[in-house]
Amino acid sequence: MAEHRLFIDGAYVPATTGRMFDKRSPVTGEVIGRVHEAGREDVDRAVRAAKAALNGPWGTMTVQERATLLQDLSRAIAERSEEFLEAEVADTGKPKSLARVIDIPRGAANFATFADMIKNLGGEFFRTDTPDGSHAINYGLYRPKGVIGVISPWNLPLLLMTWKVGPALACGNTVVVKPSEETPHTTTLLGEVMNAVGIPKGVYNVVHGFGPDSAGEFLTQHPLVDGITFTGETRTGEAIMRQAAKGLRDVSFELGGKNAGIVFADADLDKAVEGTMRSAFANCGQVCLGTERVYVERPVFDEFVARLKAGAESLVLGGPDDANVGMGPLISAEHRDKVLSYYKLAEDEGATVVTGGGVPTFGDARDNGCFVQPTIWTGLPDTSRVVREEVFGPCCHIAPFDTEDEAIALANDTDYGLASAIWTENVSRAHRVAPRIEVGLVWVNSWFLRDLRTAFGGSKQSGIGREGGEHSLEFYTERSNICVKI
Ligand code: NAD
């Protein structure tokens, strides 16, 4: 059985608390790992190691040397991709066919991309006239922010963690990562790769544990942490913001969503159905960018519902190793209970259950896992909780609309503002509608198509700030203006 220790100052160490917690397989419910729970003292050691590393060899490396190390790291992850794949699917239960093309390669790419980008980071320059008839020159420089606290979720563990660690290290920072308690494996494994490629000790540290009164809280409260980057639930973001307020640490938050898909009657329905299938059911619906509300123009409503139903009913459910499996389990029994409570609530609120709504049976060990059926509802009012709250499961509600303005108003009628997918073959309509959706990311005729140089993040309650490309570099650096009087 895997045992996950903390990774502090380049070494795997047990937690001083002496406490461990179980990691269970989402596929069978069996205990597959034991995880050391960091206490305040362990977190303090990790943060101090990260602080000290800023003044070690890492702090004096040239940008080129740092970028080369991160390229090596990216290659080393790719070389050990089968090991990372096994670790990731054991923790999450997601199909290997998905993790092999998304999670692991993106984990490697997050280092290579920002290694390239940091080499081209420019600066600003101003010549300023002065009253004595001479002038001054002003130029801007970027410095690392310092020690970055990274708090990551369980849905895309390696991908979302490295999405933060990649640019943070590229900018010369050091990090202390607190992965989700549900997915400790790949973050721990990455420590080995850091050592193997020669990243100096103390640059990358890992503390395991939970949020409140545990490693997450201790890390985000630590006075030597200079910036906090977090991906997770909106309510957790609020708690972290309170914890980070003392000492005024900068925060970058990627939070929850209740994303709308809009399908116009002029859409290519094949593409719209295929895209919505992925956006509603990929990763068992546990994608922050996923579509939980679908609005379909009335002339194609019935056909769209019928085709999405057929798609959902054709999905094969099962564990990671079966090549035919299209959907794995939810992450944990606790999360399954939450999702099932929404399945029940939808019926209580008067939904028509088009398909699903329950738990599949297999007649084997998977019956002890965390599977739920892919589920589609219609007929709920806009005020219902199921239409307003993030479920984070393989489900969506489909409602009809009659006009473009109505579709936009429905899409925007939410506290969240992360992502939206618009399906139309009318290019003018696409450009007219997309800017009016109050979200950080709009896809037209696609979903989850990502260029890592673009801004990523949410508005309203879906986030604070943007990461991606220069936006990541902005968050992970401090800017100094140097003014030289001539
Ligand atoms: P979560 O908020 O429950 O946990 C995320 C992390 O925060 C975990 O590591 C957890 O231990 C830690 N944590 C919890 N309480 C804390 C506290 N008080 N102080 C410090 N750390 C604390 O989220 P989750 O359930 O792991 O992930 C699912 C959520 O993440 C969904 O809401 C989803 O929409 C969101 N998400 C957003 C994005 C995005 O890019 N916007 C991406 C993926 C997931």
**225-278 residue pLDDT tens:** 999 999 999 999 999 999 999 999 999 999 999 999 999 999 999 999 999 999
- Taking the C-alpha atoms of residue 227 and residue 207, their distance in angstroms, rounded to an integer, is 17
Between the CA of 102 and the centroid of ligand 1 the distance, in Å, is 20
Residue-wise pLDDT for 266-298, tens only, equals 999 999 999 999 999 999 999 999 999 999 999
Report the nearest-CA residue for atom 22 of ligand 1. Answer: 211
AA identity, residue 103: D
State if residue 458 touches ligand 1 by the CB under 6 angstroms criterion. yes
State if residue 393 touches ligand 1 by the CB under 6 angstroms criterion. no
State if residue 23 touches ligand 1 by the CB under 6 angstroms criterion. no
Report the nearest-CA residue for atom 9 of ligand 1. Answer: 180
Q: Which residue of the set 37, 254, 390, 467 is catalytic?
A: 254
> Which residues make beta-bridge pairs with 174?
147
pLDDT at 408: 98
Between the CA of 236 and the centroid of ligand 1 the distance, in Å, is 6
State if residue 414 touches ligand 1 by the CB under 6 angstroms criterion. no
Output the 3-class SS for the chain.
CEEECEEECCEEECCCCCCEEEEECCCCCCEEEEEECCCHHHHHHHHHHHHHHHCCHHHHCCHHHHHHHHHHHHHHHHHCHHHHHHHHHHHHCCCHHHHCCCHHHHHHHHHHHHHHHHHCCCCCEEEEECCCCCEEEEEEEEEECCEEEEECCCCCHHHHHHHHHHHHHHCCCEEEEECCCCCCHHHHHHHHHHHHHCCCCCCEEECCCCCCCCHHHHHHHCCCCCEEEEECCHHHHHHHHHHHHCCCCEEEEECCCCEEEEECCCCCHHHHHHHHHHHHHHHHHCCCCCEEEEEEEHHHHHHHHHHHHHHHHHCCECCCCCCCCCECCCCCHHHHHHHHHHHHHHHHCCCEEEECCCCCCCCCHHHHCCCCCCEEEECCCCCCHHHHCCCCCCEEEEEEECCHHHHHHHHHCCCEECEEEEECCCHHHHHHHHHHCCCCEEEECCCCCCCCCCCECCEECCEECCECHHHHHHHCEEEEEEEEEC
State if residue 221 touches ligand 1 by the CB under 6 angstroms criterion. no
Which atom of ligand 1 lies at the shortest distance from residue 253's CA? 41
Hey, which of 110, 150, 151, 242 would you mutate to test ligand 1's pocket, going by the most ligand atoms within 8 Å of its Cβ? Answer: 151
Provide the mean pLDDT of the chain.
98
Between the CA of 462 and the centroid of ligand 1 the distance, in Å, is 12
State if residue 292 touches ligand 1 by the CB under 6 angstroms criterion. no
Residue-wise pLDDT for 51-106, tens only, equals 999 999 999 999 999 999 999 999 999 999 999 999 999 999 999 999 999 999 99
pLDDT at 379: 98
Interior/surface letters 100-135, b for 16+ CB within 10 angstroms, e for the rest: bebbbbbbbbbbbbbbebbeeeeeeeeeeeeeeeee
Fold match flag (2-255+462-485 vs 259-451): no
Cβ atoms within 10 Å, residue 141: 12
ipTM (interface pTM): 0.96
pLDDT band at 314 (very low <50, low <70, confident <90, very high): very high
Hey, which of 178, 233, 235, 287 would you mutate to test ligand 1's pocket, going by the most ligand atoms within 8 Å of its Cβ? Answer: 233
- Taking the C-alpha atoms of residue 402 and residue 420, their distance in angstroms, rounded to an integer, is 19
Residue found by looking up tokens 């310092």 in the block:
146
pLDDT band at 39 (very low <50, low <70, confident <90, very high): very high
- Taking the C-alpha atoms of residue 13 and residue 481, their distance in angstroms, rounded to an integer, is 41
- Taking the C-alpha atoms of residue 442 and residue 431, their distance in angstroms, rounded to an integer, is 11
Q: Which two tokens stand for residue 392?
A: 């984070």
pLDDT at 129: 98
pLDDT at 83: 98
- Taking the C-alpha atoms of residue 184 and residue 22, their distance in angstroms, rounded to an integer, is 11
Which residues, 6+ apart, have CB-to-CB distance to 354 below 8 Å?
A: 305, 308, 309, 376, 377, 378, 398
> Which residues make beta-bridge pairs with 8?
11
pLDDT at 323: 92
Between the CA of 214 and the centroid of ligand 1 the distance, in Å, is 14
pLDDT at 217: 98
Domain ranges (residues) in the chain: 2-255+462-485, 259-451
State if residue 418 touches ligand 1 by the CB under 6 angstroms criterion. yes
Q: Which CATH number fits domain 2-255+462-485: 3.40.605.10, 3.40.50.150, 3.40.50.300, 1.10.3720.10?
A: 3.40.605.10
Left if phi > 0, otherwise alpha if psi is -120 to 50, otherwise beta: which for 146? left
- CATH number, domain 259-451: 3.40.309.10
Hey, which of 43, 152, 228, 231 would you mutate to test ligand 1's pocket, going by the most ligand atoms within 8 Å of its Cβ? Answer: 231
Verify whether residue 254 is a known catalytic residue: yes
State if residue 259 touches ligand 1 by the CB under 6 angstroms criterion. no
pLDDT at 112: 98
- Taking the C-alpha atoms of residue 91 and residue 183, their distance in angstroms, rounded to an integer, is 5
> Which residues make beta-bridge pairs with 7?
12, 206
Give me the phi and psi of 330, to 5 degrees please. Answer: -70, 170
